[in-house]
Amino acid sequence: MTDPRSSPNRATLWGRVLVDELASGGLEAVCIAPGSRSTPLTVAFAEHPDVDVYSHLDERSAAFFALGRARRTGEPTALVCTSGTAAANFHPAVLEADQARVPLLVLTADRPAELRDSGANQTIDQVKLYGDAVRWFAELPEPEADERKVRSLRTTAARALSETGGSELGPVHLNCPFRKPLEPIDVPDAVPESFAETTAARGRDGPFVDTEQGTVGLETESARSIATALAEADRPLLVAGPADPADLQHVDRERVVSLAERIGAPVLADPLSGLRFGSHVERGGPIYGGYDVYAGELPDPDVVLRFGASPTSKSLRHALRDADARQFVVDPAGAWREATFTATDLIAARPESVVDGVLEALEGETETDDDWRARFDEAERSHWDLRDEARTDLADDPFEGAVLASVFERAPDPTTVFVSNSMPIRDADRFGRPRDAELTVLANRGASGIDGITSTALGAGSATGEDEPLVLVTGDLAFYHDSNGLLAIDRCDVDATIVLLDNDGGGIFHKLPIEEFDPPFTDQFKTPHSLEFDRLADLYDLEFDAVSPAEFADAYERSLETDGTQVLSVSFDAEASHRRRETLERAVIDGIESEFEE
Amino acid sequence: MTDPRSSPNRATLWGRVLVDELASGGLEAVCIAPGSRSTPLTVAFAEHPDVDVYSHLDERSAAFFALGRARRTGEPTALVCTSGTAAANFHPAVLEADQARVPLLVLTADRPAELRDSGANQTIDQVKLYGDAVRWFAELPEPEADERKVRSLRTTAARALSETGGSELGPVHLNCPFRKPLEPIDVPDAVPESFAETTAARGRDGPFVDTEQGTVGLETESARSIATALAEADRPLLVAGPADPADLQHVDRERVVSLAERIGAPVLADPLSGLRFGSHVERGGPIYGGYDVYAGELPDPDVVLRFGASPTSKSLRHALRDADARQFVVDPAGAWREATFTATDLIAARPESVVDGVLEALEGETETDDDWRARFDEAERSHWDLRDEARTDLADDPFEGAVLASVFERAPDPTTVFVSNSMPIRDADRFGRPRDAELTVLANRGASGIDGITSTALGAGSATGEDEPLVLVTGDLAFYHDSNGLLAIDRCDVDATIVLLDNDGGGIFHKLPIEEFDPPFTDQFKTPHSLEFDRLADLYDLEFDAVSPAEFADAYERSLETDGTQVLSVSFDAEASHRRRETLERAVIDGIESEFEE
């Protein structure tokens, strides 16, 4: 019986009204970690027919799972925990949600206010626990069957949901104090019969407050000015950085391609931009993916139009910095995400309105330097050819980039690919070739931690259709870090192909100068752990397949055709792998340079 | 070469001065999670001969390990991580350190200030990340070989260490921005030769600023007033709640016993009070441990002197609330840890000064109600007799309390016993009989989370002598939650006997009314997971021994005599176990009631 009007006590009423209103507002999923104080919320969610409940035992993993689901759908996912340190375990994912703009609704149960700082058990100060990382914080009043209070609760629910989805999507935190009884136990007169007939108790048909979020569109005048700058550019460039979840859902990729073609600009498409893979991609088209290697070697652009967050590629960021071109940074939230401080124009408007506005404003023919696009074509072809050459002699000289190349090349259409931070995302950026297939590529690039990777991937997988496989590409440190997240495979019924690049420690440190200082390099940076991950797979009843780099591509295809979750573990020597990356980079750059000289 | 004066660049200088000063101030251990931005700190710690470095891969576990070590020693342990979400993974342990008053020095590396909120990679807002949970927060200025700045750095190091150990021990957070190069790479002129001869560069012989923390002692007049109240009491009671690390090290237990004997008061000693076990305990003495069962059944005390945090025993807390006696709460930090709001007097002074002061102030004979102590003796004996009876037919009707009974009864003298939250600490409270043996019993009762349990235990174990074994008693949910913590057994060279009470889910929920509502009880509260923990033990190369309740005591003794780490897993049906607890409780209470009637 989920009708709030027939609630046996105040806490139950409160939980039911809140959940009822969130569901009416469109909330479809919640991740719950078990606890006592959160009982009214858990009970209400569990009995609500329209909200999928995912139960997790580790709050940190729960939060990343919710993050992944919200990242994939662009829609808010809720999170519930009990009072105390449980809430602090959400903190890493809340920070990622803030910076990656992922709509997350955090509901922390709490003990009543008078127990704060009283020495009471399992009670911490949860007020503003996540500081400035949330879009909105509110503390609910104590449950009571009072019309004004319940109206306020319904309004707060609508508002909380709405605040996750404003011009800058992100996390919202509601702290929810409850007094005993927490369970749906009858407390005579707690919810008077007269209350049942109030609007507050009944709610409305649909959300109590229907919310519409306006979008930030570009003024015609502004569009004209950008169009003029692009039309007059000799070497115009479009850069698509990691897309916010909101944009990933809404951007019209064909329009971006049209704009690029119209002004003669290459589109440098981050693997997380939503533009590197998809039906808009064709050979000879304006989408480029190999720039991480060659960005610094080509002529400088003079006008840049940049979408999304700061690009994954450091060499691209540096090339943009050094070009010191006129650089338009488009960000609907107006958030100055440009850490080299060379941008000249901030455009606070939705990417699609900028693309449409500029396309409309463009008049007549535009002209660029003769070989401007051709130079990119040449560099791009050279890069992918050399990459493919390198892959042919894998057995002699394996490197991690070859695995990432196969991951993207062999993934079915459609696939969701979640890529860990540290080396995998860099290799995805460098070795994932643009392709005419719907690959949704995701990563935690808001704060770029290696925590919660498995859970975020599984959360994303929980939201994809039956015919869309989930691939997770992770390093061994990230895989260890969120080992608890593997429990969700069974509990939340998500399957994945997990590609484990195992180089026994922090391979990324080979890229850094600390490599030359050993000690402390091995003990404190590379930190080999010798974990045998087949045993971890065993704990979670997963199939484990140790494959050589040469065998990987076939094993990967087989796994994608197979039900259940397989861990494909490929072992590498991090140092050798890194040296191979450097060699390949050198070869591409040499090729470009020698062409320059001709 | 660790001399700060010869540092090749500013970051290295900064790291070395900071670490040098912390070591001079007495810091003996640091837990480090690998990362790049923290390189100057990591390098400096690794090369310092006087600081033990514990390397961890999961920052959450690292922080709990540091917490455990500091909890056991009462001395600060430092923590180092890189920038970004890594720092947020420390949050749960920082909250526990705050509320349990554990000295923890958190050093978070950061990127330079201009990159904050700029879209830069792996950059979050780390300023005051832990809110009010730290005793002191400071952001270091950017490294520079400037005399005034380096003097300030040395002073800040001394102060940070000192702030962890004031009248209320706790965590301190230093945010440490670094600019590249982070590695000890030569940067010409970065550290001028002239700088090397300054006092700032050289430091001093010993700490730059020697700090002495005064202690809060009780005024004679106040002692006299408490003494009078206790002397005049008919039914005086001493209650020793969980002790702060500072008190655990310093309280003179014989003096507490003297005071109790002098005024005729029973001492109800929490397992975490430092008073339930030790050479001051003897049969017939004033130390009682079975009160969780009988506290509500005995006559009300009229004057209570309470030390430490709020007692673990809920029935004791309720009995004190209902007695509405004159209740002196002693807390050196003056922090009103009394959530029933029945205390009448707060004494902000160190426990030992209160005990000494009152003992000195007491004059003449004191007299109590005739059978006051005798009633406790009777109840106590009845409780332990019934507990022992219950243990004899374990095979037929096993219950978790019997395991806890053996844990304390059979532990060698000395032993450190770390007990998980949720049911284990409650069973330790109820079934751990006072004993003349040096058992240091610890738990995370500041915020009472089930997170970080294994790591906290291992951190405590890292600080005990070779002849003092470490026992961890944990439930299956806590064991799963901090499964990553097991890596420290090998990496940090700590052995333990791990007693795993496996009831496949949240046994504590059987104690709560939600048990009657299924669904959602099983899916959302009890949350059975079916994990086979022998596989987890296998992952970390631990011996795993599944023992029956009847076999436990012998297996436990064998493990304590054996090197290495053994997991002794005892399976229970949580519901049956809980019913047995209730039966036993009923039997003790019936015994006391029938005696009343006589």
The answer to whether the CB atoms of B513 and A120 lie below 8 A apart is no
Whether A37 has its CB under 8 Å from any CB of chain B: the answer is: no
- From first CA to last CA, the distance across chain B in angstroms is 79
How many domains would you assign to chain A? 3
CA–CA separation, B347 and B327 (whole Å) = 10
A124 domain-assigned: yes
A255 pLDDT above the threshold of 70: yes
A383 domain-assigned: no
Q: Give the gap in angstroms from C-alpha A249 to the nearest C-alpha of chain B.
A: 21
Nearest-by-CA chain A residue for B523? A55
The answer to whether the CB atoms of A525 and B86 lie below 8 A apart is no
CA nearest to A158, candidates A25, A1, A17, A62: A25
Q: Can you read off the two tokens belonging to residue B545?
A: 């021994």
A293 domain-assigned: yes
The pLDDT value recorded for residue B397 is 78
The pLDDT value recorded for residue B430 is 95
Cβ atoms of A54 and A65 within 8 Å: the answer is yes
Q: Can you read off the two tokens belonging to residue B123?
A: 């950059």
Q: What is the DSSP letter of A140?
A: P
Positive or negative CA dihedral for A348, A352, A355, A356? negative
What would the pLDDT profile of A352-389 be if each residue is shown by its tens digit?
Answer: 999 999 999 999 888 999 899 999 999 999 999 999 98
Looking up residue B311, the CATH number of its domain turns out to be 3.40.50.1220
A36 domain-assigned: yes
The answer to whether the CB atoms of B131 and A125 lie below 8 A apart is yes
Cβ atoms of B95 and A422 within 8 Å: the answer is no
CA–CA separation, A455 and B134 (whole Å) = 30
CA–CA separation, A565 and A178 (whole Å) = 40
A304 & A426 share domain: no
Q: Give the gap in angstroms from C-alpha A79 to the nearest C-alpha of chain B.
A: 13
CA A48 vs CA A28, A161, A503, B163: distances in Å: 10, 17, 45, 49
Cβ atoms of B401 and B375 within 8 Å: the answer is no
Nearest-by-CA chain B residue for A60? B89
Cβ atoms of B58 and B86 within 8 Å: the answer is no
B359 & B435 share domain: no
The answer to whether the CB atoms of B524 and A32 lie below 8 A apart is yes
Q: Which residues, listed in sequence order, are joined to residue B268 by a DSSP beta bridge?
A: B239, B288
Instruction: Indicate the residue of B338, B452, B539 with minimum beta-carbon distance to A539.
Output: B539
A588 pLDDT above the threshold of 90: no
Q: Give the gap in angstroms from C-alpha A164 to the nearest C-alpha of chain B.
A: 19
Phi, psi for residue B259 in degrees, rounded to 5: -60, -45
Q: Give the gap in angstroms from C-alpha B516 to the nearest C-alpha of chain A.
A: 9
The pLDDT value recorded for residue B2 is 65
B474 & B354 share domain: no
Question: How many A-B residue pairs are in contact by the CB < 8 A criterion?
Answer: 250
DSSP sequence for B260-303: HHHHT--EEE-TTTT-SBSTT--TTSSEE--HHHHGGGSPPPSE
CA–CA separation, A208 and A206 (whole Å) = 6
A597 pLDDT above the threshold of 70: no
The pLDDT value recorded for residue A2 is 64
Cis amide linkage into residue B520, ω under 30° from 0: yes
Q: Give the gap in angstroms from C-alpha A284 to the nearest C-alpha of chain B.
A: 32
Residue B255 burial (C-beta neighbours within 10 Å; 0-12, 13-18, 19+)? middle
ipTM of the complex: 0.97
Q: Can you read off the two tokens belonging to residue A477?
A: 């440190």
Mean pLDDT of A47-75: 97
B298 domain-assigned: yes
Residue A374 burial (C-beta neighbours within 10 Å; 0-12, 13-18, 19+)? exposed
A58 & A198 share domain: yes
What would the pLDDT profile of A523-582 be if each residue is shown by its tens digit?
Answer: 999 999 999 999 999 999 999 999 999 999 999 999 999 999 999 999 999 888 888 888
A302 pLDDT above the threshold of 80: yes
Looking up residue B466, the CATH number of its domain turns out to be 3.40.50.970
The helix or strand, by DSSP H or E, that contains position A177, with its residue range, turns out to be strand A171-177
What would the pLDDT profile of A435-483 be if each residue is shown by its tens digit?
Answer: 999 999 999 999 999 999 999 999 999 999 889 999 999 999 999 999 9
A53 & A94 share domain: yes
β-strand A287-288 against A267-269: which pairing, if any? parallel
Cβ atoms of A325 and A303 within 8 Å: the answer is yes
A531 to chain B: which residues are within 8 Å by CB? 487, 539
CA A132 vs CA A171, B86, B124: distances in Å: 10, 17, 10
Task: Give the pLDDT band of residue A117 (cuts 50, 70, 90).
Answer: confident
Q: Can you read off the two tokens belonging to residue A426?
A: 């860099």
Q: Which residue has the tokens 């859970």?
A: A455
Q: State what percent of residues in chain A have pLDDT above 70.
A: 99
Choosing from A354, A370, A386, the residue where a domain stops is A370
CA–CA separation, B277 and B295 (whole Å) = 20
Residue B342 burial (C-beta neighbours within 10 Å; 0-12, 13-18, 19+)? middle
Mean pLDDT of A227-250: 92
A114 to chain B: which residues are within 8 Å by CB? 341
CA–CA separation, A408 and A54 (whole Å) = 29
Mean pLDDT of A264-271: 98
CA–CA separation, B173 and B76 (whole Å) = 12
Q: Which residues numbered 445-484 in A keep a CB inside 8 Å of some CB on B?
A: 445, 447-449, 451-452, 477, 480-481, 483-484
Nearest-by-CA chain A residue for B342? A118
A73 pLDDT above the threshold of 70: yes
Nearest-by-CA chain A residue for B115? A339
Cβ atoms of B103 and B136 within 8 Å: the answer is no
Q: Which residues, listed in sequence order, are joined to residue A277 by a DSSP beta bridge?
A: A435
Positive or negative CA dihedral for B23, B27, B28, B34? negative
Residue B264 carries which side chain, given as an amino acid letter? G
Instruction: Indicate the residue of A84, A98, A120 with minimum beta-carbon distance to B339.
Output: A120
Residue B269 carries which side chain, given as an amino acid letter? A
A11 & A155 share domain: yes
The pLDDT value recorded for residue B596 is 59
Phi, psi for residue A398 in degrees, rounded to 5: -70, 150
A214 domain-assigned: no
Q: Can you read off the two tokens belonging to residue B271?
A: 């397992």
Cβ atoms of B59 and B453 within 8 Å: the answer is no
Q: Can you read off the two tokens belonging to residue B462?
A: 């890292």
Cβ atoms of B308 and B244 within 8 Å: the answer is yes
The answer to whether the CB atoms of B96 and A85 lie below 8 A apart is yes
What's the pTM?
A: 0.97
Residue scoring higher pLDDT (A595 or A331):
A331
Q: Can you read off the two tokens belonging to residue A496?
A: 């994945």
CA–CA separation, A370 and A380 (whole Å) = 17
A226 pLDDT above the threshold of 70: yes
CA–CA separation, B516 and B512 (whole Å) = 9
A236 & A192 share domain: no
Mutation for testing the A interface, residue in B32, B124, B489 having most A CBs under 10 Å? B124
CA–CA separation, B512 and B290 (whole Å) = 22
Mean pLDDT of A408-431: 96
What would the pLDDT profile of A523-536 be if each residue is shown by its tens digit?
Answer: 999 999 999 999 99
Mean pLDDT of chain A: 94
Cβ atoms of A12 and A180 within 8 Å: the answer is no
Q: Which residue has the tokens 């400088």?
A: A300
B290 domain-assigned: yes
Choosing from A321, A336, A370, the residue where a domain stops is A370
Positive or negative CA dihedral for B389, B314, B510, B586? positive
Residue scoring higher pLDDT (A106 or A166):
A106
Residue B76 burial (C-beta neighbours within 10 Å; 0-12, 13-18, 19+)? buried
A351 domain-assigned: yes
CA–CA separation, B368 and A49 (whole Å) = 63
B364 & B421 share domain: no
Give residues with Cβ within 8 angstroms of B420, minimum separation 6: B443, B450, B453, B472, B473, B474, B475, B478
B144 & B236 share domain: no
The helix or strand, by DSSP H or E, that contains position B22, with its residue range, turns out to be helix B10-24
The pLDDT value recorded for residue A390 is 84
CA–CA separation, B404 and B443 (whole Å) = 14
Mutation for testing the B interface, residue in A168, A514, A542 having most B CBs under 10 Å? A514
B171 & B225 share domain: no
Q: What is the DSSP letter of A52?
A: E
A228 & A183 share domain: no
Q: What is the mean pLDDT of each run of 10 residues along chain B (598 residues)?
A: 82 97 97 97 97 98 98 97 98 98 98 90 94 98 96 97 93 98 95 91 93 91 97 97 86 94 97 96 94 94 97 97 95 92 95 96 91 95 91 80 96 98 95 97 97 98 94 98 98 97 90 94 94 98 96 97 96 88 86 69
Phi, psi for residue A546 in degrees, rounded to 5: -85, 115
Q: State what percent of residues in chain A have pLDDT above 90.
A: 85
Task: Give the pLDDT band of residue A1 (cuts 50, 70, 90).
Answer: very low
Q: How far is CA B542 from the centre of its chain?
A: 25
For A248, the domain range is: 220-370
Q: Which residues numbered 132-171 in A keep a CB inside 8 Å of some CB on B?
A: 132-133
The pLDDT value recorded for residue B224 is 97
Q: Which residues numbered 75-134 in A keep a CB inside 8 Å of some CB on B?
A: 84-86, 88-89, 91-92, 94-96, 98-99, 114-115, 117-125, 128-129, 131-133
A11 & A153 share domain: yes
